[in-house]
């Protein structure tokens, strides 16, 4: 008896993404480091929300961008065999759409106030789903964040998005028993998975970034970044 099946023919977006992921898996020596951050302040908003569009993801993106500004080795790309370190953080945000996975970019994210990040993220996601993103909105990223938390996933191993050298995987918020003021308390925690190109970055450099990011999440405050002079 022949079983019935259907064929899911890949569209252009899926073909491009498949080629990039094969390149990533076969050409880049990848290592994934995992950590769990105390996200109590991040999840609660730290005393302020900044508007209806500001979510935990928005706050996290701002913290990631500001931390990357102190770790240029992580905020870099490999082009023609050279590692280019950037001061400006152009943050790619992996976005699932009905047509496939897209990675729109929030430019200079480390210098943006929380509400601007929220507005740009909402606009990029809406236009990504509608197939309206421009090429320049999907290129030039220096680091990518991919969030599987809404699906209940914890730690995982995302693939680096070439030519970038690192990607952060974000899992689902979860309650864990910890300490608050020296007393046992249930804390909201956030699983983090940093995959990096070990040919471009040493393990200690990646670990230092992940450690600083976890600390920044734990001490989150909703204040916008200072204006540049």
What is the value of pTM for the model shown?
A: 0.90
pLDDT in tens, 194-214: 999 999 999 999 999 999 999
Residues 48-63: tens digit of each pLDDT: 555 557 899 999 999 9
| Residue 181 CA to its chain's centroid (Å) | 30
For the question of residue 155 being annotated catalytic, the response is no
SS3 36: strand
**Catalytic one among 108, 119, 155, 198?**
198
Max alpha carbon distance in the chain (Å)?
Answer: 73
Confidence of residue 191 (pLDDT cuts 50, 70, 90): very high
99 or 137: which leads in pLDDT:
137
Check residue 13 and give its pLDDT: 80
pLDDT digits (tens, 9 = 90+) for 73-84: 999 999 999 999
> What share of the chain in percent tops pLDDT 70?
93
Active-site residue identified among 202, 211, 212, 223? 202
Tell me if residue 198 is catalytic: yes
Assign 73 to helix, strand or coil.
coil
* Alpha-carbon span 195 to 29, nearest angstrom: 10
Tokens of 125: 């996601």
Q: pLDDT of 214-226, one tens digit each? A: 999 999 987 554 4
The answer to whether the CB of 169 falls within 8 A of the CB of 192 is yes
74 in Cβ contact with 143 (< 8 Å): yes
Measured CA angle at 54 (ends 48, 58), to 5 deg: 110
CB 64 within 8 A of CB 169: no
């Amino acid at each position: 008896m022949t079983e019935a099946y259907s064929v899911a023919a890949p569209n252009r977006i899926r073909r491009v993404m498949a080629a990039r992921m094969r390149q990533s898996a076969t050409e880049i020596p990848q290592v994934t480091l995992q950590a769990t951050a105390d996200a109590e302040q991040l999840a609660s908003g730290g005393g302020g929300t900044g508007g209806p569009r500001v979510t935990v993801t928005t706050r996290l993106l701002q913290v990631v961008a500001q931390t990357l500004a102190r770790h240029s080795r992580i905020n870099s790309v490999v082009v023609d065999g050279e590692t280019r370190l950037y001061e400006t953080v152009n943050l790619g945000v992996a976005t699932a759409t009905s047509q496939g996975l897209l990675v729109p970019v929030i430019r200079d994210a480390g210098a943006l106030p929380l509400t601007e990040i929220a507005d740009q993220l909402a606009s990029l996601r809406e236009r990504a789903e509608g197939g309206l993103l421009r090429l320049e909105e999907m290129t030039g990223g220096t680091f990518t964040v991919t969030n599987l938390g809404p699906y209940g996933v914890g730690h995982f191993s995302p693939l680096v998005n070439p030519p970038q050298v690192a990607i952060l995987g974000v899992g689902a918020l979860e309650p864990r028993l910890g300490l608050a003021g020296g007393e046992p308390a249930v804390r909201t925690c956030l699983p983090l998975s940093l995959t990096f190109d070990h040919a471009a970055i040493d393990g200690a450099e990646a670990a230092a970034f992940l450690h600083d990011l976890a600390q920044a999440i734990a001490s989150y405050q909703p204040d916008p970044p200072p204006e540049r002079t």
